[in-house]
Copies of this chain bind each other. A is one copy, B any other.
Amino acid sequence: MEIAIETICDIGYAQASIGQIAKRAGVSKGVITYHFPSKDELMQNIVEDLYLKGASFMSKIATESTASNMLRRYIETNLEFILAHKQHVAAVAEIVMNVRDEEGKLIYHQPADNAIYVPLIEILQWGQEDGSFRPILPTSAQVLAMTIRSAIDLASQQLVANPDFNMKEYAKELIQLFEAATRKSPI
């Protein structure tokens, strides 16, 4: 699976055939289809594996005591996770945007699905209720959450494309940026 992840990162999902992965792993093709009923299941395993890793990683976030700290922690933790598993994250991004069912619909990626934004929206809601953030209407919270999330996801792309990408700095800047964006306006 590690080699599969590397391969997908290097040459993309479409080119990452079982033959290619096997060649890079120095084993026969058969050994892959022996361990995984199908290519799709291999991919599913890679995706689920990352979710498991992610779940434990993300549990830290909830420990913060203020909305502002929690937002900061959300960004930090997500970017740390991406840094810690950069290839895995990039591979899953490839899989998620390419695996489709027979009808052609994406299986994993549901851009219309709001679930991914829910935690962020909750933080924002909490923050504006307790007065630590500026007033944020539900619509604004939604868009803010989308923006934060897309900025985080961008880090993964940058990281694989450019090994010198400075994640620490990016995190610091992103936190500062969204603090400015949620801060109460001047009187």
Which A residues are within 8 Å of any B CB, using their own CB?
Answer: 10-15, 97-98, 100, 103-104, 106, 110-112, 134, 139-140, 142-144, 146-147, 150-151, 153-154, 157-158, 160-162, 165, 169-170, 173-174, 176-178, 180-187
Contacts of A146 in B (CB 8 A): 151, 154, 158
Interface majority SS (helix, strand, loop, mixed), chain A: helix
**Total identical chains:** 4
Contact assessment for A11 and B185 in the assembled complex, using a CB-CB cutoff below 8 Å: no
Q: A185 → chain B, closest Cβ, in Å?
A: 7
Report the Cα distance A110→B161, complex, angstroms. 7
Closest 5 CB pairs of A and B: A11-B104, A186-B186, A111-B161, A143-B173, A112-B162
A139-B173, A154-B146, A185-B183 known; A12+B100 contact, CB < 8 A = yes
